[in-house]
Amino acid sequence: MLRGEFPDAGERTPESLREAYESELSSTVAAVGVDAVVAETDLDRETVEALAAGESPELTLEEAAAIVALDDDRPPADAVAAEARDVLLMGMTTAVLDVETLGSAIDGEMDPKTIQQKIEGRHPITLAEYARLHQAIEERK
């Protein structure tokens, strides 16, 4: 999840992409159980149960990575989050996008400095923000 497993990201809407991420998260919660997710992450039961029920609770990339990492076939949470950020950075390189251009591509929803800080991991990025950036970058490749 979030590691290049969405080759059609540029063809989706940001909302559809976020739903795809959440579907992967929900599958992991179903596989390991709500109790395990609550015990092994910093997420509260209400958030985990909402995710399991197919709802869209607000999650950060790091929280999503913590869930993904509970799958024994996945790397640790910090590696998942780093790889997800690398997807954005490498996509920007491939698409020849800088943060100013990316800010314009998302209609100024985030200023360039904020985009840079979120992509670099210096500020939290929500799953919705990640999906918005991922989709915009992939659309321009």
Pairwise CA distance, residues 78 & 44, whole Å: 20
- Predicted confidence (pLDDT) per residue in 69-128, tens digit: 999 989 999 999 999 999 999 999 999 999 999 999 999 999 999 999 999 999 999 999
Q: What is the pLDDT of residues 38-75, one digit of tens each?
A: 999 999 999 999 999 999 999 999 999 999 999 998 99
Q: Where are the domains of the chain?
A: 7-141
pTM > 0.85: yes
Rounded Cα distance, 40 and 137, in Å: 32
Sequence-ordered list of residues with C-beta below 8 angstroms from that of 21, at least 6 positions apart, any chain: 1, 2, 6, 64, 127, 130, 131
